[in-house]
């Protein structure tokens, strides 16, 4: 077992800077998720831990040992990629054994490790099959199994579920989380999927343009997004963001006015430009507001009933908003509705810096 540390790590390709001054500590036993849009540098960060990319500056340590100059094979890591890259002519067992043979692990130890990994992944009955005779999910398990048998200090996952259909992805993410808890192996998991990040991570690091925007537990980040980018990236449907000007303890947007949360009022002044963020679940049915509430009048564009709730897309003046209604009280397309805003749960950001206003 081991922790992983990035200290002032940078990665440049010639004049192009991909990662700037990355500082991150992944605790021993932790499942850390790096999440962000495509191209933000997640894979690059992971590949630097693995030693598949050199760092341009700074230090990466595994278990307190600087690994910058260690070859990938000496770093005691195992990586699972999006493409499983199983050897097609080998059986599942041979695929699992292959890396161990290369490392000179003795026969008895190898058999023990393969049996244990196959058992924990539920693929024991498949050991003599070839990859072509497996389903996508089974292949994925074999790819994870290949990492497990290595018994590494750290697991690295790079979008390992991207090739699976939606249902299988949900199932496999739970399996990987359970497995990680069982084995307790420190893991860094990369994904562009914020739901995957939220559901799997002990902590998540939200990245954009090679920089960590926010680090915290999923619920910390969800409850207190530190800037507009994180606010909109984490959460589905995404948070509504409306720009406006402070006028007498309220935010006046182009289309409506909503009271500012009490906690914010002392730190703003009239005329100041702010962005208010309202999560869809804090907008909609009257029954949902806990403290102070306000009303936004809107016209319904689309209703998406998904069973336990209905997602309502509505337009208020020039603002397009998403709200959540109880399925039985959901409005109809074209209906004029009064949506309730839970004022205290509104997130407030400075319009110029896009940073969250404290508290």
Ligand X SMILES: Nc1ncnc2c1ncn2[C@@H]1O[C@H](COP(=O)(O)OP(=O)(O)O)[C@@H](O)[C@H]1O
Please give the residue ranges that form the binding site for ligand X (CB under 6 A): 13, 16, 18, 36, 38-44
Judged by beta carbon, residue 41 or residue 259, the one nearer ligand X is 41
- Burial class for 119, CB neighbours closer than 10 Å (0-12, 13-18, 19+): exposed
Nearest to 203 by CA among 331, 30, 11: 30
Cα–Cα–Cα angle for 239, 343, 244, rounded to 5 degrees = 65
Q: Are 241 and 251 in contact (CB under 8 A)?
A: no
Judged by beta carbon, residue 42 or residue 203, the one nearer ligand X is 42
Judged by beta carbon, residue 18 or residue 357, the one nearer ligand X is 18
Nearest to 349 by CA among 214, 228, 219: 228
Structure tokens belonging to residue 242? 């409306």
Residue from 43, 95, 282, 340 binding Mg ion (CB under 5 A): 43
Structure tokens belonging to residue 18? 């991909």
Judged by beta carbon, residue 43 or residue 194, the one nearer Mg ion is 43
Q: How far is the CB of 197 from ligand X (least distance, A)?
A: 13
Q: Which helix (H) or strand (E) holds 79?
A: strand 77-80
Q: How far is the CB of 191 from Mg ion (least distance, A)?
A: 9
Judged by beta carbon, residue 26 or residue 258, the one nearer Mg ion is 26
Choose the stretch contacting Mg ion; rule: CB under 5 A; options: 40-48, 226-234, 271-279, 280-288.
Answer: 40-48
Q: How far is the CB of 212 from ligand X (least distance, A)?
A: 12
Q: How far is the CB of 204 from ligand X (least distance, A)?
A: 14
Provide the residue count of the chain.
359
Contact partner at residue 18 from Mg ion, ligand X, none, CB < 5 to 8 Å by partner kind: ligand X
Q: How far is the CB of 113 from ligand X (least distance, A)?
A: 30
Return the number of other C-beta atoms located less than 10 Å from residue 323's C-beta.
Answer: 29
Question: Which residues of this chain interact with Mg ion, rule CB under 5 A?
Answer: 43
């Amino acid at each position: 077992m081991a922790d992983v540390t990035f200290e002032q790590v940078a990665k440049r390709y010639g004049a192009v800077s991909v990662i700037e001054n990355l500082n991150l500590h992944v605790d021993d036993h932790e499942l850390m998720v790096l999440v962000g849009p495509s191209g933000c540098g997640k894979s690059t960060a992971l590949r630097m831990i693995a030693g598949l990319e050199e760092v341009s500056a700074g230090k990466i340590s595994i278990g307190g040992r600087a690994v910058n100059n260690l070859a990938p094979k000496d770093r005691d890591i195992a990586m699972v990629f999006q493409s499983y890259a199983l050897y097609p002519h080998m059986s599942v067992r041979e695929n699992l054994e292959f890396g161990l043979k290369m490392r000179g692990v003795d026969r008895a130890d190898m058999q023990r490790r393969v049996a244990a990994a196959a058992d924990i992944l539920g693929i024991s009955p498949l050991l003599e099959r070839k990859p072509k005779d497996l389903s996508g999910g089974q292949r994925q398990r074999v790819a994870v199994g290949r990492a497990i048998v290595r018994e590494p200090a750290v697991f690295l996952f790079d979008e390992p579920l991207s090739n699976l259909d939606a249902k299988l992805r949900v199932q496999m993410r739970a399996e990987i989380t359970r497995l990680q808890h069982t084995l307790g192996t420190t893991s860094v998991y990369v994904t562009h999927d914020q739901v995957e990040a939220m559901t799997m991570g002990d902590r998540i690091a939200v990245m954009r343009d090679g920089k960590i925007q926010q680090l915290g537990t999923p619920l910390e980040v969800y409850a207190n997004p530190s800037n507009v980018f994180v606010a909109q990236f984490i959460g589905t449907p995404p948070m509504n963001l409306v720009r406006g000007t402070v006028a007498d303890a309220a935010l006046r947007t182009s289309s409506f006015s909503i009271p500012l949360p009490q906690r914010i009022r002392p730190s703003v002044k009239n005329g100041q430009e702010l962005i208010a963020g309202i999560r869809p679940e804090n907008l909609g049915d009257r029954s949902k507001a806990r403290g102070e509430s306000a009303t936004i009048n809107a016209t319904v564009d689309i209703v998406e009933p998904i069973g336990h709730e209905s997602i309502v897309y509505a337009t208020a003046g020039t603002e397009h908003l998403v709200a959540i209604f109880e399925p039985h009280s959901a409005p109809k397309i074209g209906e004029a509705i009064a949506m309730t805003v839970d004022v205290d749960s509104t997130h407030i950001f400075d319009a110029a810096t896009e940073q969250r206003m404290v508290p």
